[in-house]
Structure formats: C-alpha cells, structure tokens
Amino acid sequence: MRGARLRKGRIDRRRGCRNDSWRGSLRIRLVPHFSHVVFRLAVGYTSGMAGGFARPTLDPSTERHIFRELGFASVDEYRRWCTENRLQSSVRKSDLQRRQERELYRRQTADRALLRARRSHNRAHAIRRIFLGEIDEETVADEPLKIIAQACRKHAAAGALRDYLIQIDSLSKLLSSRDSTIAVLNLYRYEREWRRDLCDWKPHSHNIEKQLSSLAMHLLCEYEPPAFMVGVWHKKNRTRQRWYIHLGQGGSIRTAAGLPAPLTKRMAHWFTQAPEHYSPRAAIRYGQVLALGGDRRVADAILATRMAIDFSDNKFCLELIRFFARNPMLDTAHYQPIVDYIWNQKYENQAVFVARGVVQEQDPPQPGFSMGGRTPGTLLRRVEEWHARLGRTAKGGLLQWTRSGIPDFELVEGKRESRNMRVWRIIELVSSQELEEEGRILGHCVATYASSCRNRVSSIWSVRLETATDATRRLTLELNVKRKEIVQARGLRNRLPDAKEMAVLKRWASAAGLSVATWVA
C-alpha cells in the first residue's frame, strides 16, 4: 500500500510539472531519518537569488546555439523569437530543430539586410529623410539626391516641395539623373502658374527627356512648344524659361521678353522649326538664316562661328547672312575665317607691340566695314592677305598669359620596341608668339585670339603627333573657358578634323571633363 501511494504521488507531481510547463522528469527520493521529500528537477532549475525567480542553467551546446549561433542576448529573447515564429519555446531542442532554427534565423537576417539595401536605394524614402534633416548634402553620395538636399536647405516651403518630389519619383524616372532633377526643381519654381494638377499627370514613355517634356507641357502649357525648348529647364536661365511658358500659352516668340534680336514673322516661323538639338539662341539664328534664303547647311556653318553667340550688331549680322545665302557655292569651310577676319577688322582693337612684353591697343582698322559690293573672291583674297600679315611675328612683341588650369594631354599608341610608337599631345598655347607660330605653320588666323586668351574668354590648344621620325601639328582647338566646351577644331588651311583626330580630341575631352560642341563633332 505504501509503495502504491508513493507511485501515485509521483504521477501526480509529474502532471503538476507538465501543467506548469516544466518539461522534465521528476525524481523522488526518500531520504532516511527525514520526514520530508526532496525534489530534484532534471531540467537543471535550482533556487535563484533570495526572493527571486528561477534562473536557468544551460548546457554548453544550448548556450552556443542561443548566444553565439543565433546571437540572442538572453534566453527570454530567444523564447520570444521562438513564439513569434511558432517554434517550440523550450530550450531543450534536438539537433534537427537547432539546424532548422539556424536556417530560419539566417533567412531572416538576409531579408533584413535586403530591406535595408532597398530602403537605401528607395528614392522616396531618402527624400523623406532629407526633409526630416536625417541626412544632408554632405552625407549623400547620389548626385540627384545631393541636388535635392541643396534645394531643401534653400527652400522655405519644404513640405510642399517634398510631396512634389515624392510624387514625381512615384510616376517617372526624372529624379534618376542630374540634369532631369535640376529640370524638375526648376519647374517647381513656377508652381503658381501651373495650369493643371500634378496628380493628373501620367507619362507615356520611359525616355527621360520625353517624360520631362510631357511634365512641362502638363504643368505649364496649353499649346506644345518646339521640342528644343524643353532644354531650357536644365539650366537656371529664367529668361529662356519664360520664353517656354510664353510659347506654351499661345504667345509668339516675337513678343517674348529678352530676345537678343527682333524677329520677323517669317523668322519666328522658322524658329519653331529648328532642329531638336539646337539651343534657343541657335534657333533664333536658324530662323534668321532660313528666312533670308539660306538652308540648314548654311545655318550649321554659321553656328560654328562666333555669330552663334554674338548678337551685339544684329543689323550687320543679317547683312552677312544675306551674303552667305546669296552665294551658295561658297564652301562653308570658309565661313569661320571670313567671320574671324570681319570681326577683327570691324570690332576688335588691335594689339600693337611697341616694346618687348609691352602691347598697345589701337582702334579697329575698319569700324565701318560692310558687305556692300563684295564678292566671295575679293573677300577671300582679303582674308588670305590678313592671314599672311598675321604670320609675320611683330618685331619685339610678346604677350603672355597664365594657363587655364586644364591639364595637357598625352596618348601613346604602339610600342617603341616595335618601332610603331606614336604619341599624340594636346598642349595649351600661352603667348601671342606661340599663336602666331601655330597660325603660320597651319595657315589659319589663330593669332587673332591673343586678346581673347588674355581676357580668359578662350584658350587655344595645339594637337600634335610625334613619331620616331618627325613631329607634326595636326589641329588647333578653341576652348570656351567659361563653358569648358571645345567650340572649334581646324587643321591645315582650316580643314576639318578627320575621324582619328576626333577620336583623340574626344578622349582628351572625356579625361579633362570638357564637352564638344555639336558642330565640331
């Protein structure tokens, strides 16, 4: 009977342990000479600190699994993780269970890392952080986001700008490049003049330029402006942006404010037909050329001269355009030297060297120069005579200037051992004497650029090719210093560059961070 009672008591206590979630076996040992029973728990629970809860004592494999392999800070944290993932919350696990837990934990860690990576590339998330002040232009590596951070710092109504940018990002790819991001911010400056709500805009193309054109038309236009006008949003020129809005609201370019030259109705018509890659100023000159009887070939050749940007004497420019249009058989390769000669005679003060290193300026030789009665033959003879005079070095005269800061270039082709080595060099010319020598060897008028080089308007570069047997000058380049753009490239007697020379030129431009004008390429 006594044995039966003991067995019954053992069974009852085991049930009680299971009900309290103590999943271990309970051993009962009768201690002689004592009147009580000592319970020993196989799970390893012992009495904790006075007045405290029970504290687990784990075996080494369990500790390694929880703290090292899974990286939890406490058993309670491990149990919560098990419960959240519908796993057994006990610390006693089989090898199979532990392997499954490790695989699950690795998957969850990878998912969290992927989510963080996605958030870092999520432009809308980054924009929110910028406007909350969590990141700024110094900590952002992405250039479009850096531009947005700069705009956030300068803009008063930051909340409205933030919502605008997030909406643009959700609908298009316009915030993925530097130029289109600038364009989006420029469009926001005219928010008060928007014709339609941004929420109603949906792009119909994946092309960024087409998306920008669609957005600008949606926000500001009732009528479609010429395709080339969308380029005004890439710059900060508000005058030309106003031209876009004026055209988009049905106005004529003739009545737009800030035009560099007045236009006739016929010129205004041809302005709207200008090629898509033209700038607005180039389109104005294009409209003048076609309205006066020229064609696209004549317009492109004129735009390769300084007439592309110089509208200071519009009346004479129209006279010169008529001359070119009336003589379609005149080789367009002569346009550049003709324009250089005329500008030198009509507008530019002459630098006369009176002593070594000392120059004296005099008035232009022919300030009243006109095209009346001139023929291509007589004009070209005057140009050749002028070139010949420029080829003679002025006695004792020398004008120098400092370098532009753009590095020289060297490209080595072939190997010396194979005796086929060729070295291309592009060097900057930094004195009037060097310009005169360049012009004399190649038979063109680069010597006239001494004043422009000294005033930091242009810089002149010489492209040279060196081989084992000789060294030759191949091209002379004109670089617009302000725009860092190669605007002219001419070889012997004003010939155009060949394919190899253009490839070398473009490699230098890429290495030095320069652009090449479309009429040069």
Residue 389 sits in the same domain as residue 375: yes
Q: What is the pLDDT of residue 236?
A: 87
Residue 377 sits in the same domain as residue 483: yes
**Angstrom distance (rounded) from CA 490 to CA 465:** 15
Residue 33 sits in the same domain as residue 134: no
- DSSP code of residue 174: G
Long-range contacts of the stretch 477-484 (C-beta < 8 A, 24+): 477/426, 477/505, 478/446, 478/449, 479/404, 479/406, 479/514, 481/404, 481/456, 481/457, 482/457, 483/515, 484/406, 484/513, 484/514, 484/515
Residue 128 sits in the same domain as residue 219: yes
Residue 242 sits in the same domain as residue 172: yes
- pLDDT band for 232, please (50, 70, 90 cuts): very high
Q: Would you say residue 273 lies in a domain? A: no
Q: CB of 253 within 8 A of CB of 229? A: no
Q: What is the pLDDT of residue 29?
A: 43
Asked if residue 472 has pLDDT above 60, the reply is: yes
CA distances from residue 441 to 333, 385, 435, 436, 475 in whole angstroms, order as listed: 19, 15, 10, 9, 11
Q: Which range (57-66, 241-250, 315-324) has the least confidence?
A: 57-66
Q: Would you say residue 42 lies in a domain? A: yes
Q: Would you say residue 322 lies in a domain? A: no
Q: pLDDT averaged over the chain?
A: 83
- pLDDT band for 152, please (50, 70, 90 cuts): confident
**Angstrom distance (rounded) from CA 238 to CA 257:** 11
Q: Which domain holds residue 366?
A: 358-521
Asked if residue 418 has pLDDT above 60, the reply is: yes
Q: What is the pLDDT of residue 25?
A: 40
Residue 446 sits in the same domain as residue 483: yes
Asked if residue 35 has pLDDT above 60, the reply is: no
Residue 117 sits in the same domain as residue 131: no
Residue 374 sits in the same domain as residue 225: no
Q: What is the pLDDT of residue 398?
A: 66
Q: CB of 50 within 8 A of CB of 37? A: no
Residue 451 sits in the same domain as residue 495: yes
Q: Would you say residue 402 lies in a domain? A: yes
Q: Would you say residue 484 lies in a domain? A: yes
Q: What is the mean pLDDT of residues 222-245?
A: 94
Domain stop point among 251, 285, 303: 251
**Angstrom distance (rounded) from CA 240 to CA 279:** 10
Q: Would you say residue 98 lies in a domain? A: yes
Q: Would you say residue 334 lies in a domain? A: no
Residue 458 sits in the same domain as residue 493: yes
Return the H-helix or E-strand segment holding 358: strand 358-362
Residue 376 sits in the same domain as residue 420: yes
Q: What is the mean pLDDT of residues 51-77?
A: 78
Q: Would you say residue 336 lies in a domain? A: no
Structure confidence by residue, pLDDT tens digits, 328-374: 888 888 899 999 999 999 998 876 655 544 567 788 999 999 999 89
Per the structure, the count of domains in the chain is: 4
Q: What is the mean pLDDT of residues 113-127?
A: 67
Classify 424 as helix, strand or coil.
Answer: strand
CA distances from residue 9 to 4, 46, 296, 515 in whole angstroms, order as listed: 9, 22, 109, 94
Residue 370 sits in the same domain as residue 482: yes
184/135: higher pLDDT? 184
Return the H-helix or E-strand segment holding 336: helix 335-346
Amino acid in the structure at residue 491: G
